[in-house]
Amino acid sequence: MTRSHFKDPPKKSLGQHFLHERGIIDRIVQAVNPKPEDRLVEIGPGQGAITFPLLDVHGRLTVIEFDRDLIFPLTEAARAHGTLRVIHRNVLEVDFTALAGEEGPLRLVGNLPYNLSSPILFHALEHAAVIRDMTFMLQKEVVDRMAAGPGSKIYGRLSVMLQAYCAVTPLFNVPPGAFRPPPKVDSAVVRMVPRAPEKIGIDDPDLFAAVVRDAFGQRRKTLRNALSKICDTSAIEAAGVRPDARAEQLEVADFIRMANALAASSSH
């Protein structure tokens, strides 16, 4: 792998921080542990820090890159490593379900731009049925929130939404010095494995999302007040949840049960 193909510095406007620490790169590749039949898709390859080692191990890779100036150098540099398919688009506009097609599930990898990490995670959730797993590098604070449990100050909408659909496992932390330029925050690598549809048990995904959103909309409010636009106290009680509880006290299963009870009552 050589930097000679890449002339332009990282773009602050795109939140670019290029990974360069070889030890960290090797740990990410080991965490992904690609098998010959896998369909790997990398989000935001940048200057290829993870791309080329993955190609060396796997031989073929699809990458999604928004920065036009990186397309040609990525393509040229990849020739020495394997077969690279480049999709030049905003990842939020990529239909992963269509990309998966009939060839089987995708495995997503990426050092995600920190200013877009939550939208990208929610976009991936919409296509969870065709995603086998996701190995992402994110701001450590975001990973902590993703994996937080009830009772924690950082347990919130992101925690519940992701854990309802995926098993979330933080893998290891990454210091700022592993990037060029160094970000002002620590980073972390996390693995997300979508649950089988029958194990998720959410009857109405839109209603579930609305319940979680409103419940955490004003954290200090009790559920009775926070969910007043969606349901009344009796509906909360009918789901076996205390109306005077606050969102941060509820397990993920409580939110699912409450949303399903509301869905069932509204269908009659």
Binding residues: 17, 19, 44, 65, 111
Contact 27, 57 (CB under 8 A): no
- 72 contact partners, CB below 8 Å, separation of at least 6: none
**8 A C-beta contact, residue 45 and residue 51:** yes
What is the rounded end-to-end Cα distance, in angstroms, of the chain? 62
> What is the token pair recorded at 263?
């869905």
Quick check: 181 and 10 in contact, CB under 8 A? yes
Strand partners, 266: none
Of the candidates 172, 177, 200, 176, which has an alpha carbon nearest to the alpha carbon of residue 186?
176
Pick out the residues of the known binding site for S-adenosyl-L-methionine. Answer: 17, 19, 44, 65, 111
- What span, in angstroms and rounded, lies between the C-alpha atoms of 218 and 228? 12
